[in-house]
Amino acid sequence: MSYYEYVFNIAYLAQGVPKTIIHTREEQYEYICSHYAPPRLLIKLEEWIDKNPDCKEYVFIGGSSNYEKQRSRYFNIRGS
């Protein structure tokens, strides 16, 4: 699990998303983002990634994806 996936999981859990649907497969990520408002913690991480593009790869080490397509759709990120 990457740091990004960890933050995604705890942020949506704290927001009340049922634990049973929180998985970081791309299709589940898409479902969660399309049905629940983005948590402030995840928005802050996205802003940090945007300001520190040289560190982006470290945020996603160990994860199953970097969710680029979904992140650009739901978090208004710059494609990099």
3-state secondary structure 59-72: HCCCCCCCCHHHHH
pLDDT tops 60 at residue 80: no
Q: Residue 64 belongs to what domain range?
A: 3-75
Provide the percentage of residues in the chain whose pLDDT is more than 70. 94
pLDDT (tens digit, 9 = 90+) per residue, 32-71? 988 999 999 999 999 999 999 999 999 999 988 888 888 8
Specify the number of domains making up the chain.
1
d(CA 20, CA 58): 27
Identify whether 28 is part of a domain.
yes
Identify whether 80 is part of a domain.
no
pLDDT tops 70 at residue 17: yes
